[in-house]
């Protein structure tokens, strides 16, 4: 029978909006710490404190009635919009904050990577901060000494380990912090959005470290907005929305449901009546759709997917020479490309009779970057005169694919993401005179 690593039962956390924590004396802090330690020693279960919100205050449930079980060795991804309750859940499980209601049973030692770099002091060197941060994360001095060289090599900061971290770049600081946290050997690893740390090579190492933790039987709870990382790394996904659990199941299924509601998609539109269709006395738009090649407008488009943009329109004036100009923008408002039917050989340059026409623009996979895209069309007559323009006629999302990432899940910059031919050749060792100059 599989052992349960985490059992969450009706977990809830309420906050009062605008509440500020008051400052106490050193005596208060010591007394509170003592009470907390005694309570943890006397309780195996985290009982929720009673809270009775006043009607005069504005309260919000950051987490409300979340229940689930995680088996030992299971890798589970937590997804959801900002403010869905993901970080609150992790802080409760990591024993950073108390739940307002419900409880969580934890079996084993927890290692939490929630705020990478917490505990680093800017005036101390990297070497000193490794010792300090390792101790904060629960590592013994002997364990820190034994893993020190491995931690530094993992972070790639060997040359600067005796330099104060205030002189580190943001990336160096984050890499060292993650390296320390990643070398804690807990039974349960809780990770919150750490894959935004570092460059491609370092992120591959991070993924490898998390994969090793999972393969060695440790339980991993992973929060990320990167759906490709969730789908590649996790065997299960939990979707939180408004503090509640919306779905729990296979990553592909849960992610598809989440993405389907994460934005207002306009992948297909239809105006069957010419009198009410958008346009004018020259042209009217009947329909517009985006769909994968061989699929429907309801099917997802991935970065690797060949897809089609289709338009149907009525030409209302005999003899008109029409062109559709297609403009695709990404979510930053950058025009990714403009397509014209220059290669269309049947009607290009010929006069159109009155009637219904259909244009299809075939877009190859491995062209667009992931993210939300919108389409604008312009109907042009005689290659020069704009007779109708329709902005945001369609909106669709291009989804990421984990297989193309090869272990790296950082933001892929640029409006496009083509897969181009690339070759590397070796031309022999460095010449002796070049070595002498160096």
| Interatomic CA distance for residues 406 and 82, integer angstroms | 27
User: Reduced to 3 states, what is the DSSP secondary structure of residue 250?
Assistant: coil
User: 24 near 114, Cβ under 8 Å?
Assistant: no
C-alpha angle with apex 154: 153 to 157, nearest 5 degrees?
A: 55
Nearest to 122 by CA among 174, 167, 175, 179: 167
Q: How confident is the model at residue 47 (pLDDT cuts 50, 70, 90)?
A: very low
DSSP secondary structure, 113-150, as one string: ESSTTTT--TTSBHHHHHHHHHHHTT--HHHHHHHHHH
Average pLDDT, the chain: 83
User: 377 near 288, Cβ under 8 Å?
Assistant: yes
pLDDT above 90 covers a percentage of the chain that reads: 40
Sheet of 307-315: strand order equals: 268-270, 283-292, 307-315, 355-363
Sheet of 371-381: strand order equals: 301-302, 385-399, 371-381, 322-330, 335-339
User: 64 near 244, Cβ under 8 Å?
Assistant: yes
User: 243 near 85, Cβ under 8 Å?
Assistant: yes
| Interatomic CA distance for residues 373 and 301, integer angstroms | 11
What are the structural domains, with CATH classification, of the chain?
Answer: 4-109+186-261 (3.40.50.300), 268-399 (2.70.50.60)
Give pTM, 2 decimals: 0.63
Which pLDDT tens digit goes with each residue over 53-78? 555 557 889 999 999 999 888 889 99
Name residue 380's beta-bridge partners.
Answer: 323, 386
Provide φ and ψ at 41, rounded to 5°: -70, -30
Select, from the ranges 105-119, 140-154, 350-364, the one with the highest average predicted confidence (pLDDT). 350-364
| Interatomic CA distance for residues 59 and 242, integer angstroms | 14
Mean pLDDT of 395-400: 90
């Amino acid at each position: 029978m599989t052992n349960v690593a985490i059992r969450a039962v009706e977990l809830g956390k309420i906050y009062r909006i605008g509440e500020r924590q008051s400052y106490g004396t050193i005596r208060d802090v010591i007394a509170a710490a003592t009470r907390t330690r005694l309570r943890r020693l006397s309780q195996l279960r985290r009982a929720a404190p009673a809270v009775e919100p006043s009607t005069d205050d504005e309260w919000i449930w950051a987490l409300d009635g979340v229940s689930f079980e995680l088996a030992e060795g299971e890798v589970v991804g937590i997804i959801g919009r900002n403010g869905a309750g993901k970080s609150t859940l992790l802080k409760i499980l990591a024993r950073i904050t108390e739940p307002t209601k419900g409880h969580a049973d934890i079996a084993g030692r927890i290692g939490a990577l929630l705020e990478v770099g917490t505990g680093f002091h800017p005036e101390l060197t990297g070497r000193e901060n490794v010792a300090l941060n390792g101790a904060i994360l629960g590592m013994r001095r002997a364990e820190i000494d034994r893993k020190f060289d491995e931690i530094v090599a993992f972070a790639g900061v060997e040359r600067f380990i005796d330099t104060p971290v205030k002189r580190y770049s943001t990336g160096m600081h984050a890499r060292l912090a993650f390296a320390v946290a990643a070398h804690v050997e807990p039974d349960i690893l809780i990770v919150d959005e750490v894959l935004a740390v570092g460059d491609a090579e370092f992120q591959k190492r991070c993924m490898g470290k998390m994969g090793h933790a999972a393969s060695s039987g440790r339980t991993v709870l992973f929060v990320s907005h990167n759906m490709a990382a969730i789908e590649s790394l996790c065997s299960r996904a939990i979707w939180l929305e408004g503090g509640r659990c919306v779905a729990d199941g296979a990553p592909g299924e849960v992610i598809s449901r989440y993405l389907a509601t994460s934005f207002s998609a306009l992948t297909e539109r239809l105006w069957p009546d010419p009198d009410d269709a958008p346009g004018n006395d020259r042209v009217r738009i009947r329909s517009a759709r985006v769909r994968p090649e061989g699929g429907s407008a309801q099917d997802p488009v991935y970065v690797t997917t060949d897809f089609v943009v289709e338009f149907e329109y009525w030409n209302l004036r005999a003899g008109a020479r029409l062109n559709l100009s297609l403009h695709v923008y990404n979510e930053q408002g950058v025009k990714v490309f403009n397509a014209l039917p220059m290669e269309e050989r049947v009607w290009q340059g010929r006069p159109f009779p009155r009637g219904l026409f259909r244009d299809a623009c075939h877009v190859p996979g491995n062209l667009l970057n992931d993210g939300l895209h919108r389409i604008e069309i312009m109907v042009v007559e005689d290659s020069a005169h704009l007779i109708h323009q329709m902005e945001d006629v369609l909106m669709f999302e291009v989804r990421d694919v984990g297989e193309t990432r090869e272990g790296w899940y950082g933001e892929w910059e640029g409006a496009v993401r083509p897969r181009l031919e690339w070759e590397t050749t070796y031309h022999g060792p460095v010449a002796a005179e070049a070595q002498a100059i160096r």
